[in-house]
């Protein structure tokens, strides 16, 4: 149980284009999902917390107009990287909390999306 | 400020035991997670401690001392597949996970 999927797993795009990454909780409902990015050999950096039916809460220094987050249902959150640039190349990981296990605060992680901007 | 301190890298031998230490400073505390992350993959849950003491789960055990801001992950009977990064992540007062850079564990035959 508690499986989170991400799509795509890898994407290469040209500078200036937009890329959408989907995060789905497959066997549970998630009112809260998280988006992280991770550079090689560095820690996970929380970008934003996504709450179903409301606006995402962005961490300091993360441009909300560049990283658009939509959490339209209890099983789906999307991250759109708009006007991507090479410095946006990174490993993007989503995680989700099971609404029935909110008190445990455990986050279930998706497999990640490797974005390369050329 | 919030800070996580773990060794950057450790090496151990297959079949042996290794202890990975973590000290933390956070704004409030609501428990501590340990995650395993293989290269190029997302983290997977190992343990969660909210009370002081040792939690044992198979080959892996995790210890917490809240007064000392200290935790460790103990791995027994090491296997080659245990080669990975191990992330110590306390929950702060806002129930947000605070991530350190993790400890890269290298297992040698």
- Three-state SS across B47-75? EEECCCEEEEECCEEEEEECCCCEEEEEE
Which of A41, A106, A109 lies at the smallest CB-CB distance from B42? A109
Q: How far apart are CA B4 and CA A61, in angstroms?
A: 20
Q: Residue A102: its pLDDT value, please?
A: 66
Task: Confirm if B102 and B37 have CB atoms less than 8 A apart.
Answer: yes
Map tokens 């890329």 to a residue: A19
Q: Residue A72: its pLDDT value, please?
A: 82
Task: Confirm if B63 and B53 have CB atoms less than 8 A apart.
Answer: yes
For residue B72, pLDDT over 80 is answered with yes
| Burial state string for B97-107 with b = 16 or more CB within 10 A and e = fewer than 16 | bbbbbbbbbeb
| Mean pLDDT of the region A31-58 | 89
Q: Which of A91-100, B1-10, B57-66 has the highest mean pLDDT?
A: B57-66
Phi, psi of A3 (to 5 degrees): -100, 135
Residues of chain B contacting A42 with CB distance shorter than 8 Å = 101
Closest-CA distance, A109 to chain B, in angstroms, reads 6
- 7-66 of B, contacting A, C-beta below 8 A: 30-31, 33, 35, 40-45, 48
| Mean pLDDT of the region B15-31 | 96
> Does B33 sit within 8 Å of A106, measured CB to CB?
yes
| Mean pLDDT of the region B62-90 | 97
For residue B51, pLDDT over 90 is answered with yes
CA distances to B37, B74, B89 from A111, rounded to whole Å, are 11, 25, 19
The whole-chain average pLDDT of chain A stands at 91
Q: Does B2 touch chain A (CB under 8 A)?
A: no
């Amino acid at each position: 149980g508690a499986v989170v999927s991400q799509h795509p797993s890898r994407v290469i795009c040209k500078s200036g284009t937009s890329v959408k990454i989907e995060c789905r909780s497959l066997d549970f409902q998630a009112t809260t999902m998280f988006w992280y990015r991770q550079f090689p050999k560095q820690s996970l950096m929380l970008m934003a917390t996504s709450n179903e039916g409301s606006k995402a809460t962005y961490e300091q220094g993360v441009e909300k107009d560049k990283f658009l987050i939509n959490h339209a249902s209890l099983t789906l959150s999307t991250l759109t990287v708009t006007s991507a640039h090479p410095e946006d190349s990174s490993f993007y990981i989503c995680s989700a909390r099971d609404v029935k296990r909110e008190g445990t605060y455990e986050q279930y992680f998706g497999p990640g999306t490797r974005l390369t901007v050329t | 400020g919030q800070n996580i301190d773990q060794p950057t890298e450790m090496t151990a031998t297959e079949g042996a035991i290794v202890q990975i230490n973590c000290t933390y400073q956070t704004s409030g505390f609501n428990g501590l997670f340990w995650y395993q992350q293989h290269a190029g993959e997302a983290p997977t849950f190992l343990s969660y401690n909210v009370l002081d003491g040792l939690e044992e789960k198979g080959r892996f055990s995790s210890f917490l001392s809240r007064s000392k801001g200290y935790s460790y992950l103990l791995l027994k009977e090491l296997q080659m597949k245990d080669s990975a990064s191990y992330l110590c992540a306390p929950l702060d007062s806002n129930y947000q996970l605070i991530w350190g850079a993790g400890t890269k564990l290298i297992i040698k035959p």
